[in-house]
């Protein structure tokens, strides 16, 4: 068997962490032949719950799980990691101003950047899940200058998978035959779920769905507001689907996207498709040999361009707010 890879999960005692650790231990992120050592980080108040997660991982006797490091020490957590899935963050509580949530989270991500810079391998692949995911990832990138920017990404794969799921339900087609939806921009309600390049069973999604009013209206709002709908139904935010999508993101990044398929990832913008530069923006990407590249040459109609601009403007504004928070 290959040498084990070290996979860090932060916020590991939280609800996404609880769904994510077993998936990674079963090979959902790095494949069925790759042993893993899980590094689980959480904060001091969650120490006991974290120990409970560690105990359950031991009790699950996973064949691929070569070890568990459960810790509240950021430096120990980042030491020697190959992959990091950063889920830990300060939750938005009722009555909190947006700037307060931003301020809490960007300071967490600035501190984690220092640990990453000091202890992480330059090749480590980083996925930020905690909200505001794109801006947290940007702060991480800006404060860990020795880590190549291409190694720092934000998760929009759950939104992407939600789009595929809606098209699957609407057309009665298995989700495995629905491909190439795109989530553009921010992992927030301004994201633009775009079906103009999506296919259902190899045919353009618009031709199969035959209802442009739905695709330009209800489809978009359903995907954008799915998180809230899950909270309403479950009384808790999505965790299983968030964990599953995080594994999809890492798996495709490491093992490559299938020929003819692209996926959505929040990556450092180079200005493609008129997106603002130097923010973490979700684009359609393909991956090969552990590297992503933004799909080029897709036609963008005027309506889409407008929606891309809205979500891009929000990211520029979030970036300014984050910088203001760090300067305070």
Least CB distance from residue 162 to ligand NDP, whole Å? 9
Tokens of 104: 């809490």
The angle formed by the CA atoms of residues 258, 263 and 266, to the nearest 5 degrees, is 140
Residue with the CB atom nearest ligand NDP in the bound state: 14
Least CB distance from residue 240 to ligand NDP, whole Å? 10
On whether 15 is known to bind a ligand per the annotation, the reply is yes
Distances (CA, A) of 115 to 61, 143, 146: 30, 10, 12
Contact predicate 99/321, CB 8 Å: yes
Q: Please identify which residue in 24, 129, 250, 275 interacts with ligand NDP, judged by CB under 6 A.
A: 129
Exposed/middle/buried for residue 258 (C-beta within 10 Å: 0-12, 13-18, 19+): exposed
Max distance between CA atoms of the chain, in angstroms, equals: 55
Tell me if 194 contacts ligand NDP by CB under 6 A.
no
Burial 123-162 (b: 16+ CB within 10 A, else e): ebbbbbbbbbbbbbbbbbbbbbeebebebbbbbbbbbbbb
Tell me if 89 contacts ligand NDP by CB under 6 A.
yes
String of contacts with ligand NDP for each residue 229-258, x by CB under 6 A: --------xxx--x----------------
Strand partners, 74: none
Catalytic residue among 39, 160, 187, 197: 187
Contact predicate 100/59, CB 8 Å: no
Tell me if 43 contacts ligand NDP by CB under 6 A.
yes
Separation of alpha carbons 13 and 142, rounded Å: 27
Q: Is 119 a catalytic residue?
A: no
Taking Cα atoms as reference points, which of 9, 64, 7 lies closest to residue 35? 64
Tell me if 87 contacts ligand NDP by CB under 6 A.
yes
C-beta closer to ligand NDP: residue 147 or 154: 154
Least CB distance from residue 156 to ligand NDP, whole Å? 9
SS (H, E, C) 103-152: HHHHHHHHHHHHHHHHHCCCCCEEEECCCCHHHHHHHHHHHCCCCCHHHE
Tell me if 46 contacts ligand NDP by CB under 6 A.
yes
Tell me if 315 contacts ligand NDP by CB under 6 A.
no
Least CB distance from residue 9 to ligand NDP, whole Å? 10
Separation of alpha carbons 316 and 312, rounded Å: 6
Using CB under 6 A as the binding rule, the residues of this chain from 13 to 42 that contact ligand NDP are: 13-17, 42
Q: Please identify which residue in 8, 10, 276, 318 interacts with ligand NDP, judged by CB under 6 A.
A: 10
- Interface stretch with ligand NDP, choices 124-132, 144-152, 189-197, 287-295 (CB under 6 A): 124-132
Q: Please identify which residue in 6, 11, 178, 252 interacts with ligand NDP, judged by CB under 6 A.
A: 11
Q: Please identify which residue in 158, 181, 200, 223 interacts with ligand NDP, judged by CB under 6 A.
A: 158
Taking Cα atoms as reference points, which of 284, 276, 291 lies closest to residue 138? 276
On whether 29 is known to bind a ligand per the annotation, the reply is no
Q: Please identify which residue in 34, 71, 103, 131 interacts with ligand NDP, judged by CB under 6 A.
A: 131
Least CB distance from residue 103 to ligand NDP, whole Å? 13
On whether 129 is known to bind a ligand per the annotation, the reply is yes
Tokens of 8: 């860090």
Least CB distance from residue 312 to ligand NDP, whole Å? 20
Binding-site residue numbers are 11-17, 42, 92, 98, 105, 129-131, 162
Q: Which residues bind ligand NDP (CB under 6 A)?
A: 10-11, 13-17, 42-43, 46, 87-92, 108, 129-131, 133, 158, 227, 237-239, 242
The residues annotated with a catalytic role in the active site are 187
């Amino acid at each position: 068997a290959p040498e084990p890879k070290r996979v860090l999960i932060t916020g590991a005692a939280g609800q996404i962490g609880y769904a994510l650790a077993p998936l990674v231990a079963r090979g959902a992120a790095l494949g069925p032949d790759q042993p893993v050592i899980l590094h689980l980080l959480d904060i001091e108040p969650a120490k006991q719950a974290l120990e409970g997660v560690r105990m359950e991982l031991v009790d699950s006797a996973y064949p691929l799980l070569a070890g568990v490091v459960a810790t509240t020490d950021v430096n120990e957590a980042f030491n020697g990691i190959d992959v990091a899935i950063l889920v830990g963050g300060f939750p938005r509580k009722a009555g909190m101003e947006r700037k307060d949530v931003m301020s809490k989270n960007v300071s967490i991500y600035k501190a984690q950047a220092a640990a990453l810079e000091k202890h992480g391998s330059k090749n480590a692949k980083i996925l930020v899940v905690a909200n505001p995911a794109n801006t947290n990832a940007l702060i991480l990138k800006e404060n860990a200058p020795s880590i190549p920017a291409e190694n720092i990404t934000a998760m929009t794969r759950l939104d992407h998978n939600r789009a595929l799921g809606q098209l699957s339900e609407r057309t009665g087609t298995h989700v495995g035959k629905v491909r190439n939806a795109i989530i553009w921009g921010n992992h927030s309600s301004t994201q633009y779920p775009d079906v103009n390049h999506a296919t259902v069973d190899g045919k353009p999604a618009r031709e199969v769905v035959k209802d442009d009013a739905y695709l330009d209206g209800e489809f978009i709002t359903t995907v954008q507001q799915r998180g809230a709908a899950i909270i309403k139904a479950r009384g808790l935010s999505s965790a299983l689907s968030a964990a599953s999508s995080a594994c999809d993101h890492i798996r495709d990044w490491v093992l490559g996207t299938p020929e003819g398929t692209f996926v959505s990832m929040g990556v450092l913008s180079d200005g493609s498709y008129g997106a603002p530069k130097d923010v973490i923006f979700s684009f359609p990407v393909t991956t090969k040999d552990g590297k992503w590249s933004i799909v080029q040459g897709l036609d963008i109609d005027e309506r889409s361009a407008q929606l891309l601009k809205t979500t891009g403007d929000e990211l520029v504004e979030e970036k300014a707010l984050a910088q203001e928070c760090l300067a305070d």
